[in-house]
Amino acid sequence: MAGAHARAAPLPAKIGRHAVVGYIATGGMAELFLGKEPTGRPVVIKRILPHLARQTSFVSMFIDEARIGSRAKHPNLVEVYELGQVGVDLFLVMEYLVGENLAGVVRRLTKRNERIPYGLCAWIIAEVCDGLHYAHELTDDAGNPLELVHRDVSPQNVFVTYGGDVKLLDFGVATAAHRLTQTASGEVKGKYAYMSPEQCRGEALDRRSDLFSLGTVLYELTTLRRLFKRPNELQVMKAITEEPIPRPTREHEDYPACLEDICVRALARDPAQRYASAAEMRDDLLRAVQQLGLPGDPHESIASKFARLFSDRMSQKREVLDRVRRGGDLTDLLSPEVDEQIEVPIVSQAGATPLSRVRAASEPVGRRSRSRRNWAFLAAFIAAILAGAGVGAYLRMRRAAERAKPTVAVSPPVEPEKVEVADRNVADVPPPPEEQYIVISVETDPDGVKVKVDGEERGPTPIDVRVKKGGKALEIQLLQTGFDTTKVQVVPDRDQRLYFSLKEKKIVPVVRKPGKKKDESPGFRRFN
């Protein structure tokens, strides 16, 4: 989605039963609004663009996204509340998340010359794997696999809340075996720099394509270097399909071997050499977390890091939420992207030793010839795109790319003896025992109310409280000076969203009894 800019047309007052309080962004198929439910809860409303609302193919694609989203109920996937239609308006209502996407996180880290610990990076990507595997395993009502492929796994679509929750967003370009609208053969969708080699070539995709994309995200989050960014889309696709992929240790000498093994395997150009599933990749990431160490709760570690990185954004977003609930003016809604002017450096290229060098050297001549034929096909395919309806989009993307001219950092080449076979097994360390957790999202009017769970203080609202899943009720207590204390019992058997409007305490005058001292203030009041 594009960044938030002024919208020429006036905002609609309502979309369906939801009040529209602000404009977020416009993409290729839809526009995003910040909305408010009748209960006061903020939501994101995704409405298909008016000029596309009468085109069957776009409407079908939009309904596909809604159906996929309605089935994908998982803590690491963004939740779709409803699909609605009023007149020609076709829209989705989704949960409103307070945090930043990984693209913004990487830019802010680059700007401040900071890094996130390797173990915490591995945990974040493991959380994405958890949600992605759930989506890959989705079935229809008859139990038939949907064979879903996200096709747009990228830093922009991995969202981390200020409380440390990780969410995979946007199934708008996903493809599934039983979806209403089938993608035309050879049609390319997704962000170019995060596509898999087979996606670049317009070939049939399966879940392993998403794992290549996620490997790119892992590489960039841990190195703070753009892996496949190039001046134009043709060069991006050539880099993905043919150019040597520098090993992460080329960018950082301290890069841990266990994480490099995961990058090597996820970024294998041959899908057969990659992980077979996101669950398998997650297992290796959790073993890496165990080896690298992760002191304390990762949610608290992220919350602490983000409180320093995004203190300005956090206060601004808290103000936005407060104004949403109070019905204030939101014409100056905060941009969804952060530090857009920051250019993240690209990887070093001079003398790069490819991740797949050992395997490539042993390939038969016939396979290398097929690789050259694949590139010839790719070039022809790109030419066809430019000659067709995609010319406008391509030119816009090319102009944007040409405005950004990153400098290439050159580092010494990696010695050949450091290269390892891509499918090297990670040490057989048993994964840590896993406990099931759920998230209770607590919102209040007013904001900033202290939340206690079974007597333990968890922080001010709005807040996502992560607790162990179970059948025993928890007591949630809400405390704010000048307001009545609220207590509720909640059974933590599933993810829940709670909203409370606190009542102000009544001020009761003190009745003065005969014989009181005269210097006692007659205007004294107390709270009950």
Q: What span, in angstroms and rounded, lies between the C-alpha atoms of 211 and 268?
A: 10
Boundaries of domain holding 447:
437-509
User: What is the rounded CA–CA span in Å between residue 157 and residue 174?
Assistant: 12
Which residues are tagged catalytic?
A: 152
Instruction: Give the number of other CB atoms < 10 A from CB of residue 482.
Output: 10
Domain assignment present for 525 = no
**Which residues contact residue 411 at a Cβ distance below 8 angstroms, ignoring those fewer than 6 apart?**
250, 251, 348, 350
In a shared domain, residues 132 and 193: yes
| Residue 497 to residue 462: CA distance in whole angstroms | 11
Residue 194 lies in a domain: yes
DSSP run (H or E) holding 478: strand 474-479
Same domain, 43 and 192: no
The CATH number of residue 273's host domain is 1.10.510.10
Give pLDDT, residue 525.
41
- How many Cβ atoms sit within 10 Å of the Cβ of residue 524? 9
Among candidate residues 95, 118, 144, the one where a domain is terminated: 95
pLDDT the model gives residue 432:
47
430: in domain:
no
What pLDDT is stored for residue 434 in this prediction?
55
Neighbouring CB atoms inside 10 A of 253's CB total 7
Domains in the chain, number: 3
Residue 57 carries which DSSP code? H
| The pLDDT of residue 462 | 79
Domain boundary among 95, 128, 150: 95
- 475 and 509 Cβ atoms separated by less than 8 Å: no
The predicted model scores a pTM of 0.68
CA distances to 144, 170, 519 from 151, rounded to whole Å, are 21, 10, 76
- In the prediction, which pLDDT does 106 show? 97
**pLDDT per position as a tens digit, 469-508:** 887 889 999 998 888 898 988 888 877 878 787 888 876 6
Q: Same domain for 158 and 186?
A: yes
Peptide bond into 462 cis (omega under 30): yes
Please report the pLDDT score of residue 155 as a whole number. 96
- Classify residue 528: in a domain, yes or no: no
Percentages helix, strand, coil for the chain, rounded to the nearest 5? 35, 20, 45
Tens of each residue's pLDDT in the chain, 528 residues: 334 455 667 888 999 889 998 888 887 778 999 999 888 889 999 998 888 877 887 777 777 777 777 788 899 999 888 888 887 788 889 999 999 999 999 999 999 999 999 999 999 999 999 999 999 999 888 889 989 999 999 999 999 999 999 999 987 656 666 555 555 444 555 589 999 999 999 999 999 999 999 999 999 999 999 999 999 999 999 999 999 999 999 999 999 999 999 999 999 999 999 999 999 999 999 999 999 998 789 999 999 999 999 999 998 888 888 877 777 656 557 788 899 999 999 998 654 555 653 333 333 334 444 444 455 445 544 444 444 444 344 334 444 444 443 333 333 333 433 333 333 333 344 444 556 777 888 888 887 888 899 988 888 887 878 888 887 889 999 998 888 898 988 888 877 878 787 888 876 666 666 655 544 444 434 444
In this predicted structure, what is the pLDDT of residue 277? 98
Asked if residue 70 lies in contact with residue 92, where contact means CB atoms within 8 angstroms, the answer is: no
> What CATH number is attached to the domain comprising 484?
2.60.40.3070
123 and 91 in a common domain: no
Q: Do 287 and 156 share a structural domain?
A: yes
Give the β-pairing of 496-501 and 437-445.
parallel
pLDDT of residue 510: 60
Task: Tell whether 85 and 115 lie within a shared domain.
Answer: no
Tell me: do 250 and 235 sit in the same domain.
yes
Is residue 195 located within the same domain as residue 238? yes
What does the alpha-carbon distance between residue 216 and residue 248 come to, in Å, rounded to a whole number?
A: 11
Distance CA 60, CA 45 (A): 18
Asked which of 351, 386, 418 is the last residue of a domain, the reply is 418
Residue 318: inside a domain, yes or no? no
| One domain for residues 151 and 227 | yes
Candidates 109, 171, 158, 164; CA nearest to 129 is: 158
Return the CATH number at 75: 3.30.200.20
Q: Are residues 367 and 493 in the same domain?
A: no
Cβ 248 vs Cβ 412: under 8 Å: no
Give the C-alpha distances (Å, rounded to integers) separating 221 from 18, 211, 370. 36, 15, 33
Longest dimension (CA), the chain: 108
The reply to whether 229 falls in a domain is: yes
Are 23 and 107 part of one and the same domain? Answer: no
Q: Are residues 359 and 453 in the same domain?
A: no
Q: Does residue 327 belong to any structural domain of this protein?
A: no
**CA–CA separation, 199 and 516 (whole Å):** 85
Residue 471 within any structural domain of the chain: yes
